[in-house]
Structure 1
Amino acid sequence: MLKDKLFLVMLVLGLLTMVAAAGIMTIQKGKDSTPDPFLNMAGEQQLAEGQGEAPQTAGASDAQMANETEQSTKAALAENRNQGNDLAAEADTADPATEAGAGKEAAQALALNFTDSSSMTWPVRGNVVLDYSMDQTIYFPTLDQYKCNPGIVIQSDVSAPVAAPANARVTEVGVNDEIGNYVMLDLGNEYTAMIGQLKEISAAEGEYLQGGQTLGYVAEPTKYYSVEGVNLFFELRHQGKAIDPLDHME
């Protein structure tokens, strides 16, 4: 009977020991799986600091980019200013200023240096039907009279191109009854030329013409030259005095 009681007591103690051991293991396991609050707080603080640094880094990067953009813009503006200054300097050292005829592109200013030894090209090619004559009179068939002639009258054809006899500047474009439409040219050194019996004049006042450049075309003769036929009137003067153009023709 006593043995049975001891056995039961031992059995109960064994069961209690097993239960106690199981409880200890469960508590230890729970401790291992529960996060440490201090570790969590430290991790959260580090994460917050990392997130706070990111905007600061991004802000610094944006500022740097803005600064680089500003520097690039200033450099580009400085380069453009330098290029503009270079162009202005080139313009200042370029050829002399040009002058333009109405509705025409600018023509470069030419050096006008006609002298007593200079020669001219014929404004048109043809026979001289009336010679220069200021020291005696010559006969004009249409007028049926004798008078002095300050220029020459050159036979031509209607619409034949008329060339500038030398480098010249157009000083006047006009019309009168005797020689019709005409052009006055400054050849330089007080030499001037007048060409009449023109149409479709392409030269304009103030325009520079190169020798041989077309300035207009031959027109029908005026009533003062109807018998002489189609012609071009050409007069050369020096210091306002008429001189013989043939002395300077090539």
Structure 2
Amino acid sequence: MKERIGQMFKDKVFLVLLVLGLLTIVAAAGVITVQRGNGGGESPYLKVPDQSNMIVQESIPQETQVAVAGDSNATKSKEEDMQAVDSGNATAKQETQAPAVKAGTDKDAASSLVLNFNDATRMTWPVKGNVLLDYSMDSTIYFPTLDQYKCNPGVVIQGDVSTPVVAPANARVKEIGTNEEIGNYVVLDMGNEYTAVCGQLKELQITKNEYVKEGQVLGYVAEPTKYYSVEGANVFFELTHKDKAVDPLNQMK
């Protein structure tokens, strides 16, 4: 009986010692874990990345993010491109409208010419040159080519072939014609029943009913007709008032 009791006592002591050993081991493991945590070792827990920045970025509207992230030079370049396009369109529009404005202005200027020729008006010479045959309606003068004396309703002004012949004053082209004596000619209505005739022309630069300004080219000096072969190249110039010939030299500048 005593032996049995002794054996049971020994078993209980063994169990107590076993439990104490296990507790000691667990305590030691806990101390080691605490020391590792305090010593800056790597945490056994999974680190969750800081999502504050991600939340802020997602809360910003897409357009705002693009504006902030975009290069300021790119924005400036876009504005400059838009300005260049606007400037190009404005230039193209201006170039498209320019001819119409110019044509309208010229037309208005021509139709607004004042034809107010009178006895006090002074004319431009249709061509610069010597007077070969003077005006003479009160008496006759000698015509070398015709070898005869007769009246002359205008003046015959010397001029080299192809020299420009200009309008003596503002006028409207009343008539364009040709005859065997003075060749191609132009009749100009200068207003107040004053009319001028320029003959011995070629390569006419005007048309009937066209308004011309003083000094504008009408044509060029032609080769003389057979009526003026001796006198040589010239311009025949006649001035009339109320269908009556008057001396044009009295009103030349």
TM-score range, shorter chain: 0.5 to 0.7
Residues 110-167 of structure 1, C-alpha deviations (whole Å, 9 max, x = no match): 433321111223323212424231x555554444555543222223433344333233
| Counterpart selection for 1:195 from 194, 198, 217 | 198
The answer for the alignment partner of 1:16 in structure 2 is: 22
Partner amino acid, structure 2, of 1:164: A
Separation (CA, whole Å) in 2 of partners of 1:27 and 1:228: 137
Q: CA deviation at 1:48?
A: 9.5
For structure 2, the 5+ residue unaligned runs are: 37-42, 67-78
Contact 2:184 2:200 in 1 (8 A): yes
Distance 1:150 1:99, change over 3 A: farther
The answer for the alignment partner of 1:247 in structure 2 is: 250
Partner amino acid, structure 2, of 1:235: E
Contact 1:138 1:147 in 2 (8 A): yes
Partner amino acid, structure 1, of 2:106: T
Which moved further from structure 2: 180-189 or 162-171?
A: 162-171
Q: Helix, strand or coil: the match of 1:201?
A: coil
Determine whether 1:166 maps to 2:169: yes
CA RMSD of aligned residues (A): 4.8
How many residues end up aligned between the 2 structures?
A: 211
Determine whether 1:221 maps to 2:227: no
| Counterpart selection for 1:131 from 128, 135, 139 | 135
Separation (CA, whole Å) in 1 of partners of 2:168 and 2:57: 89
Q: Helix, strand or coil: the match of 1:215?
A: strand
Contact 2:156 2:236 in 1 (8 A): yes
Contact 1:108 1:208 in 2 (8 A): no
Contact 1:137 1:148 in 2 (8 A): yes
Residues 81-100 of structure 1, C-alpha deviations (whole Å, 9 max, x = no match): xx99xx99xx6xx9x84249
Partner amino acid, structure 2, of 1:16: L
The answer for the alignment partner of 1:179 in structure 2 is: 182
Residues 49-104 of structure 1, C-alpha deviations (whole Å, 9 max, x = no match): 768645xx126889xxxxxx9xx99xx8xxx7xx99xx99xx6xx9x84249xxxx
Q: CA deviation at 1:15?
A: 0.7
The answer for the alignment partner of 1:98 in structure 2 is: 106
Separation (CA, whole Å) in 2 of partners of 1:177 and 1:23: 141
Determine whether 1:208 maps to 2:212: yes
The answer for the alignment partner of 1:103 in structure 2 is: none
Partner amino acid, structure 1, of 2:242: Q
Determine whether 1:58 maps to 2:62: yes
Separation (CA, whole Å) in 1 of partners of 2:227 and 2:46: 127
**When the two structures are superposed, what TM-score results if normalisation uses the length of structure 2?**
0.58
Separation (CA, whole Å) in 1 of partners of 2:54 and 2:161: 100
Contact 2:173 2:189 in 1 (8 A): yes
Distance 1:110 1:130, change over 3 A: same
Q: CA deviation at 1:214?
A: 4.2
Separation (CA, whole Å) in 2 of partners of 1:144 and 1:99: 48
Report the identity percentage: 48
**When the two structures are superposed, what TM-score results if normalisation uses the length of structure 1?**
0.59
- The structure having more radius of gyration, on CA atoms, is 2
Q: Helix, strand or coil: the match of 2:227?
A: coil
Separation (CA, whole Å) in 1 of partners of 2:248 and 2:170: 16
Separation (CA, whole Å) in 2 of partners of 1:166 and 1:192: 10
Partner amino acid, structure 2, of 1:193: A
